Amino acid sequence: MSTSTPLVYKRANPRVRKPRLTRAERSELTRKALFNAAISVVGEHGYANAMITDITARAHTAHGTFYNYFETRQQLLDTLLPELGAEMLQFIRDETRDSRTEIEREERAFRAFFTFLKTRPEFYRILYEAEVFAPEAYIRHTNTVASGYVRTLQRAVQNGRLAPREPQELEAIAFMLMGARHYLCMRFARRGAETISLPEWVVKTYMELVTGSLFNSSELDRIPASGHARTSKST
C-alpha cells in the first residue's frame, strides 16, 4: 500500500504589515488634508465664507489641530493660489515637454490650461477672488506665471520664431496671452459653477491669432498638437 505525501496548505492572502508612517509623514498628510479641504470649501463658498470649522470638518481633523499647521485662517488662504498655481504649471510642463516647435508648445499649453481647470475646478474661483481676499498671494502667483511665460517667449526669440522690437515687449505679450486664457475661460469654459470642455473652434481661433500675428512660422510650425496639419487657406 502506497503512502501519499501530505498536502501543505498556504494562506491565500497572508497579511503584510505596512510600514508605519513617521511623524513627519503623518504631519504632512494632515497638512495636505487641511489644504485640500480649504480648496474645496473656498471653491464652493468663496474666501469670505471659508470658516476654519468647515475646513477642519472636511479634513476630518480636530479644530485645534488647525493651529498646529497655520497660525491664522488667512495664512492658510494665502497658500492656496501659489500652491495650486505651481501644480498648474507643472501640469502644463508635463503636457508640453516633447513639443517640437514654439507654436505646437503654445497650443499644447493652451489646451493643458483648460484641462487643468477640469481636474481642479476650484482653481477658477480661487484665482478670481484672490485679488481681493489674498492679494499678496495673487501678486506672487501672477508674477510667477508671467515670468515663466516670458522665459518661454525668450526661447522663441533665440530660435528666431519671435522678433519683438523691444525686449520689454515680451512681458506685455505674456500678459496678453494670459489674459486671453482667463477671459476665454469665463466665456466658453464655464457653465454656472461647472467647468466644461473648451469648444474646439475656440482653440482654432486662438491659434490662428497666435500664428498669424505673433510667431514667425513655417508649415511645420502650424502642425497642431494633435499631429494633423491645418488645412491651408486659399488666397
Please tell me the pTM assigned to this model. 0.79
The whole-angstrom separation of Cα 163 and Cα 167 is 9
The pLDDT of residue 6: 54
207 Cβ contact partners less than 8 Å away, ≥ 6 residues apart = 103, 106, 107, 110, 224
Give the architecture-level CATH label for domain 74-228. Orthogonal Bundle (1.10)
The pLDDT of residue 193: 77
Give the residues across from 190 on adjacent strands: 195
Amino acid at position 129, single letter: E
Give me 100's grid cell.
517640437
Domain boundaries, the chain: 24-71, 74-228
Superfamily of domain 24-71: Homeodomain-like (1.10.10.60)
Q: Is-contact 12 47, C-beta < 8 A?
A: no
Each residue's pLDDT tens digit in the chain (235 positions)?
A: 445 555 554 555 556 566 788 888 889 999 999 999 999 999 999 999 999 999 999 999 999 999 999 999 999 999 999 999 999 999 999 999 999 988 999 999 999 999 999 999 999 999 999 999 999 999 999 999 999 999 999 988 888 888 877 888 999 999 999 999 999 999 999 888 788 999 999 999 999 999 887 876 554 444 444 544 443 343 3
The pLDDT of residue 7: 52
